[in-house]
Structure 1
Amino acid sequence: MDFAERLKTLRKQANLTQKEIAEKIGISQPAYGDWERGTKKPTQENLVKLAKIFNVSVDNLLDNNIEEDELANVEVLFRMASDGLTDEEKATFREELIEFMKERKKAFEENKRE
């Protein structure tokens, strides 16, 4: 998944519109739309703002190694186990699930080589 797709996915998961994200960052909606279309890239400063809005690290925001199926699996696990958590706890839990899946995938790939 490229950055533009990841950005759109995170925005939809957060139930926010392009306009709402743009306002939080301090840019226009069309400028934000360019990021989701992949025609322009945000500055480092705006990447940090995006990461804070979505409660993910900048590395996670830019990560291209998580495949769509893996994200779907994370979302299912997340929904099943996050009832009753605060928004902050949910954000942390989601990121930890993604990191766990990456580590497990890496371990499985290493076992295949042995």
Structure 2
Amino acid sequence: MSGIFSQKLKNYRKELEVKRGEKVGQVKLAGELNVSRGIIGDLERGTRTPSKKFLVKLVEHSGKSIDYWMDGLEEYEAPNTVDLILDKMIETGLITSSELSDDVWNIIKEAVKLEVDRKLS
């Protein structure tokens, strides 16, 4: 497993502590991300690879890009923008069947454009 991700996660907790002026332990961060403390501990020790679902939560919580969090995870294929958007729309109930509204299609088109730009740069 990559020690780079585990160090980034530890550093993120320290950044939160400085920003908030209070201790942000594994239990607190786990609660804010709605995961177990064990998951945070395993990720910080480098004995676990983050799931796509966890990465989505971490990106939303931290405001840091998926590329920031994925850098250094050699054995893991980063989810692309479209994949992340679809997962979030399904999770929030915006997509409940294969019948997609115009609003959903517009969001998907924007995600595809972002992914194309990322691949071309």
Question: What percent of counterpart residues are identical?
Answer: 34
Name which one, 1 or 2, has greater alpha-carbon Rg.
2
2:15 maps to which residue? 13
| Residue 38 of structure 1, CA deviation | 0.3
Structure 1 distance, partners of 2:4, 2:13, is: 14
2:45 maps to which residue? 37
1:54 paired to 2:56: no
- Greater helix fraction, Structure 1 or Structure 2: 1
Equivalent pair of 1:11/1:54 in contact (CA under 8 Å): no
Give CA-to-partner distance per residue, 1:54-104, whole Å, 9 cap, x none.
11011111224xxxxxxxxxxxxxxxxxxxxxxxxxxxxxxxxxxxxxxxx
Structure 1 distance, partners of 2:50, 2:29, is: 13
| Residue 6 of structure 1, CA deviation | 0.9
After TM superposition, the score normalised by the length of structure 1 is: 0.51
Mapping of residues 67-82 of structure 1, within 5 Å? none
Q: Report the residue type matching 2:38 in the other structure.
A: P
After TM superposition, the score normalised by the length of structure 2 is: 0.48
- Aligned pair count? 64
Give CA-to-partner distance per residue, 1:18-70, whole Å, 9 cap, x none.
11111122221122100000000121011011112111011111224xxxxxx
| Residue 11 of structure 1, CA deviation | 1.4
**Runs (5+) with no aligned partner, structure 1:** 65-114
Q: Report the residue type matching 2:66 in the other structure.
A: V
Structure 2 distance, partners of 1:52, 1:11, is: 15
**Runs (5+) with no aligned partner, structure 2:** 18-23, 73-121
